[in-house]
Each structure stands twice: as structure tokens, then as C-alpha cells.
A and B are shown apart, each in its own frame.
Chain A
């Protein structure tokens, strides 16, 4: 995945789409105040300068699907493990809730079910049947919408063809009005993500930790921004 920070307007459509797609329950005001809200993707806001001369920078942060993920080796039950496709899988059934993975994750993108999830009626009727609902005591996180990836692959296989570039879109990518997020196959050098990842604005979030994130951020080109302003 590539996220162009120049294009992100901080509208948080991705956050809403993610909640709807992945059956992420809301926890209510009180619990959210205790830091127990679950947002598999969040838009971080950083401010530059003093009021009123302030520049806001938005940065959507989701699971970076690290190539060398700190969350994986620490899990005693293989609930957090590396899939063959290179995703950081989270197998809910295996999770016993040590929360070690969430401590090890430098991005803080792992979320814990402190209570059983609840939906105000009739919202439970809109749950996505392709995504399991997580019970109390279990860790969860962004899956890159693995259910959509699988569906796309099965469809392509049924039609006896390769998956087309841009055919599979996670909910956040699909909902982004400015196309700040692009999803695709990094193994294919001609895909749009591969081309964008080769940009000289490309950078990795906390790449210095050696986690080898699969999300590439395109830095804001501050010179251009000033010209526009």
C-alpha cells in the first residue's frame, strides 16, 4: 500500500469505512476516554507553527504489515503470524490475550477487546458476514481487508486469469475521496503501488526500527505546498 500524504485531507472516511467493513464495534464514550476505542486505521494529526499560523499534517496510520514484524515472534500461540502472502495474520481463535503483540508493536495499531462487543439495535443487522466478530480478551488489527483479497483471488481463479492491478481494494482505499491511498501487488514491478513506491518522496514509518513495513508513505512536498498557498 502507498499513502500519499500530500493528498490526504484528514476527512476520516477511511476510518468509517473500516469500521463498517470489518465489524469493529464502538465502545462508547466512557471506554473511549480510557483509551479503549478501536480504530484499525486512524488519522494522526500533527500541528506545525503557532496559532493562528498553523499548518496541520494528516497521516493515516494502519497496520504496516511489516516484513519483519515485532508482533509475530512474541506471540506464544501463533495467533499473530506471517502468512504466505506476506500479511501479518491475526488468528482470533488462537489468541489467548497476552497482549504482548500490542506492546511490541511500535505503531500501536493493535486493538484489544476489553469487553464483548456490542451494537445498538438494529446495527447488528449490518454486520459484514465475511468478517468474524471478535469476542472479549482477543487482539485484533487491520487485515488489509483479507476477505476482499481472498474474494478477488477466488474470482480471478474462477475466470482463469491473474488478479488485475487495482481490482482488489481494501475498504479504506475504496472510500478515499482524494485517492491518497493506493493498494496493489508490490511483487509486480509494473503495478501502480510499485511505481509510486519508487518515488523519491517514498518513506517508511519508523523504518529505522528494521520492521520493513509494507506501507509506503509519500512525504509532503513542502516546496510545492508553499507555492500553492
Chain B
């Protein structure tokens, strides 16, 4: 990494905050239009009934729950990876952590809307919340959906805290460099940060605690999401492998999303000198490990199911291996393994472009994986007479809402990158100039302490 002066770093990383181009507005407008279309679709669904979606008996869960699992999985990009890298004190992490943590918060928020969108009566979703109501009953704590409710909220709170903590010194930095309304807003956001040694000490301590606490929370969240399926006696769902399988898949898709986000940020915010090929190569290696782990899990899941040779399981098994869903299944294998493996394993291909292509494959493949876990099993449950008479097909409502959430992710990311430096300024400076990283804030604090 070419050494840059602290002032240069400030300059480069705060530049995106200084203004927006017309092109930015046009792009943002397009994505917002998709979001509005998705909101219209949801309104249409509430007005006409959930029947406008493609779900049917017995495939009662379709695109919505696929998206739910997919987005919650994607949310494992950030917080988990950044927490592990922080604890391991991997120095190359510094420019990566914040854009990873942001993915977590946004993907989790988006994912958490799907359990509400998919309800038959979404207007009373709050019955899942334990509050003393006139109905006189609490929610059913035995239901995995309730575990979801608590797990996702815990993870969301935790990852928002984890994201906000290291942003405080950066808010203070922006506060000191702005005037007027902006100054006032960042003044509030920086929570009275002066950069005194005591504040630094507390911040570090808080981040250490959060980094350690958030890892078990992240693992538990996707375990619990997997139990939405594994707890029900449905063929190919009712398996003990599901929790680790889902967690591995979540981290897998999370890293892929992070690589794509980093490549886009690098290009559009001109961060070529901060997000270096080494970052992509390192994340690419992680992605390679997860790809192999994913293949191992899929193989174990399939092998044990096949070896057990239970008739209802085998009916679903062959449906995905050679039957109606085999096209999607093998596309998934190609996207998650055949494409990424050579790109990431051979050093020559492990470039930024190579990593991004592999990551796009993985994101598509992991979405398909979630779909293939849900729909084929529900189509072929036990009694052959009750098999899905007509196969599940998504309608425009489901497709629009799905597209809307992807647009929502990009929109949130675009807005965020204009409000907060997407690379943690103080952490980067600390890495490059350990002796003066805390300047000028620290200097000011020293002065204050001296005068006091």
C-alpha cells in the first residue's frame, strides 16, 4: 500500500460526501422507481389477497421465503467477517470492515421484511410480538418463527451497534470539517466525541466486546433460520445438518456480496488506491474455502439422504437430481462451484475481475439453493395424491417485490456512501500512521485537557 499522508486520506475518503453528480441522481431515480413498483405490488397483494402471489397448495412458501433466507444469509457478509478479522487482528481488514458491516445492516433489514410480506394477513404481524394484549395470550415460544423474531432482532441491534461504534470518530472528523446544518447533524451523530484517551480506550473496549459477542449471535441467527425448515417433518428438511449447512451457505453468499459491493465502490467512488487487489485476493481465498465447504455440505446432505433411502425423501431427491428441478439444481452447482473454483483456486485468475465473476455466480447460485431447499420438498410431501398438481410459478407480484428488494439494497448503499465515509478513516490512518493516527482530534483533546 502506497503511504499516504493523513490529510490525503481525509481528502480521498471524504470526497464522496461533498456532493452528488446528475448521473448519481439518474441512477438513484431508476432504483427508487423499482422500489415504488415493489411497494405497489405489495399494496396490490394486500388489497386483492395473497392469492395474487404464485404460492399454492401444497407449495405454501415460494419466492418470499426464498428471499428471506437469501437476504438473511447475505447479511452474514459483514459483521461476522469483520468481527473475525478484527479479533484475528488481520491488518488488511481496515478498508474492508465498514462496507461489510453496512451490507449486514441493510440486508438484514430487507430480509426481515419478508416474513411480514409473505403473511396472509400482514396487517396483524405484530401478533408475533410478546406484548400484553387484549387477546390475553403470548406468542407461542415453541414456534421457530418466534425464534426467528428474537434472533433477527438481536442480530439487527447488535450489528447496528457494531456498525455505529467505529463510525463515531469519523463523524467527529466530518463535524470538524463542515459548517452549517451539516455540522449540526454530524455534531449530534458524533455523540460529543473529542478524541480524549479515555474515549479511545472505551471505544476500543466496546468494539472488542461487540466483536466477540456478535459472532455467536450471527451463527445462531442462520441456525435458527435453518430450523424453520429442519423442525418440520418435511422430506429433505427434517435433517440435523441444516444449521451448519445454512451458516456455511450464509457466509459463502455474504463474502460474494461483499466482493461485488467492494468492486462497485472501488469503481464509482474512485477508491482504487484504497481497495487494492490484495483485498480481493484475500477475500477470494476465503470465498474459495467457503465454496469447498459448501460442496462438502451439499454432498453430505445428499449422500446421507440417498443412503437412508426413505421413499418420501428419495422422491424429492430425484426431483432435484434428475427431475423437474434438475436444471436449477445443476445450474446452482455450476454457479457455486464449477465457475468459482478455477477462478479462485488458480492464482492467475484470482484478479479483481475473476473474483467478481465468481461472486456473481455465487450470489445467483445461493439464491437458487434457497429456492431448491424450499419448493421441491413442499411439492412432494409424503402422499403422492397430494403432490403439487400444478407446479409453483411466481407471479409478477413476487418478481416485482423481489426486484424491489435488490433495488432497495443498492439504493440504501448509494445513500449511505454519500453520508458516511464507506472506508473507516481513522482505522485506515491508524494502520498507516500509527504514531499520529489520532490526530488532529487527539491533539485537540490534549489541549483541552491541558487547559482544564
Q: Which residues of A contact B (CB under 8 A)?
A: 31, 33-37, 42, 44-46, 59, 61, 70, 73-78, 81, 94-100, 102-104, 106-108, 111-116, 136-139, 206, 209, 211
Known A96-B120, A103-B232, A137-B121; contact A44-B51, beta-carbon cutoff 8 A: no
Q: Is the interface of B mostly helix, strand, loop or mixed?
A: loop
Cβ of B384: which chain A residues have Cβ within 8 Å of it? 46
B388 contacts the other chain (Cβ, under 8 Å)?
yes
Q: Decide if A36 touches B233 in the complex (CB within 8 Å).
A: no
Residue of A nearest to B393 (CB): A34
Complex: A95 Cα to B120 Cα, angstroms: 9
Number of interface residues of B (CB under 8 A): 46
Q: Decide if B125 touches A96 in the complex (CB within 8 Å).
A: yes
Question: Which of B36-44, B83-91, B137-145, B167-175 participates in binding chain A?
Answer: B137-145
With both chains docked as a complex, state the minimum distance between the C-beta of B42 and any C-beta of chain A, in angstroms.
14
With both chains docked as a complex, state the minimum distance between the C-beta of A142 and any C-beta of chain B, in angstroms.
14
Q: Write the B119-136 contact mask toward A (1 if CB under 8 angstroms, else 0).
A: 111101101100000010
Cβ of A76: which chain B residues have Cβ within 8 Å of it? 127-128, 139-140, 143, 145-146, 149
Known A45-B385, A108-B386, A114-B51; contact A102-B57, beta-carbon cutoff 8 A: yes
Known A112-B60, A115-B51; contact A74-B145, beta-carbon cutoff 8 A: yes
Complex: A13 Cα to B390 Cα, angstroms: 26
Complex: A107 Cα to B234 Cα, angstroms: 10
Q: Decide if A44 touches B383 in the complex (CB within 8 Å).
A: yes
Complex: A78 Cα to B386 Cα, angstroms: 26
Q: Which residue of the partner chain, among A36, A73, A96, A102, contacts B51 with CB atoms under 8 Å?
A: A36
Can you list 21 pairs linking A and B with CB atoms under 8 Å apart?
A: A33-B389, A35-B56, A36-B56, A36-B57, A42-B385, A74-B142, A77-B127, A98-B118, A98-B119, A98-B120, A99-B60, A100-B228, A102-B58, A108-B57, A108-B382, A112-B57, A136-B120, A137-B119, A137-B120, A139-B120, A209-B233
Q: Decide if B128 touches A114 in the complex (CB within 8 Å).
A: no
Q: Is the interface of A mostly helix, strand, loop or mixed?
A: loop
Q: Which chain B residues (382-413) contact chain A, with CB distance < 8 Å?
A: 382-386, 388-390
Complex: A195 Cα to B281 Cα, angstroms: 73
B328 contacts the other chain (Cβ, under 8 Å)?
no
Cβ of B140: which chain A residues have Cβ within 8 Å of it? 73, 75-78, 81
With both chains docked as a complex, state the minimum distance between the C-beta of B50 and any C-beta of chain A, in angstroms.
6
Cβ of B388: which chain A residues have Cβ within 8 Å of it? 35
B49 contacts the other chain (Cβ, under 8 Å)?
yes
Complex: A107 Cα to B258 Cα, angstroms: 42
Known A113-B120, A137-B50; contact A108-B144, beta-carbon cutoff 8 A: no
Residue of A nearest to B234 (CB): A103
Complex: A104 Cα to B61 Cα, angstroms: 11
Q: Decide if A136 touches B382 in the complex (CB within 8 Å).
A: no
Q: Decide if B51 touches A99 in the complex (CB within 8 Å).
A: no
Cβ of A75: which chain B residues have Cβ within 8 Å of it? 140, 143
With both chains docked as a complex, state the minimum distance between the C-beta of B143 and any C-beta of chain A, in angstroms.
4
Q: Decide if B49 touches A114 in the complex (CB within 8 Å).
A: yes
Residue of A nearest to B392 (CB): A35
With both chains docked as a complex, state the minimum distance between the C-beta of B62 and any C-beta of chain A, in angstroms.
10
B419 contacts the other chain (Cβ, under 8 Å)?
no
Q: Which chain B residues (14-69) contact chain A, with CB distance < 8 Å?
A: 48-51, 55-61
The 10 closest A-B pairs by CB, nearest first: A97-B120, A137-B120, A114-B51, A108-B386, A99-B60, A44-B385, A137-B121, A104-B232, A35-B56, A115-B49
Q: Decide if B119 touches A97 in the complex (CB within 8 Å).
A: yes
Cβ of B383: which chain A residues have Cβ within 8 Å of it? 44, 61, 106-108, 206
Q: Decide if A73 touches B127 in the complex (CB within 8 Å).
A: no
Q: Decide if A95 touches B121 in the complex (CB within 8 Å).
A: yes
Q: Decide if B120 touches A73 in the complex (CB within 8 Å).
A: no
Q: Decide if B57 touches A35 in the complex (CB within 8 Å).
A: yes
Known A35-B58, A106-B381, A108-B58; contact A100-B120, beta-carbon cutoff 8 A: no
Cβ of B143: which chain A residues have Cβ within 8 Å of it? 73-76, 100
Residue of A nearest to B228 (CB): A100
B231 contacts the other chain (Cβ, under 8 Å)?
yes
With both chains docked as a complex, state the minimum distance between the C-beta of B82 and any C-beta of chain A, in angstroms.
32
B378 contacts the other chain (Cβ, under 8 Å)?
yes
Q: Decide if A103 touches B51 in the complex (CB within 8 Å).
A: no
With both chains docked as a complex, state the minimum distance between the C-beta of A184 and any C-beta of chain B, in angstroms.
26
Complex: A61 Cα to B231 Cα, angstroms: 24
Q: Write the B274-318 contact mask toward A (1 if CB under 8 angstroms, else 0).
A: 000000000000000000000000000000000000000000000
With both chains docked as a complex, state the minimum distance between the C-beta of A190 and any C-beta of chain B, in angstroms.
33
Cβ of B125: which chain A residues have Cβ within 8 Å of it? 96
Cβ of B145: which chain A residues have Cβ within 8 Å of it? 74, 76, 98, 100
Residue of A36, A74, A96 contacting most chain B CB atoms (<10 Å):
A96
Cβ of A34: which chain B residues have Cβ within 8 Å of it? 56, 390
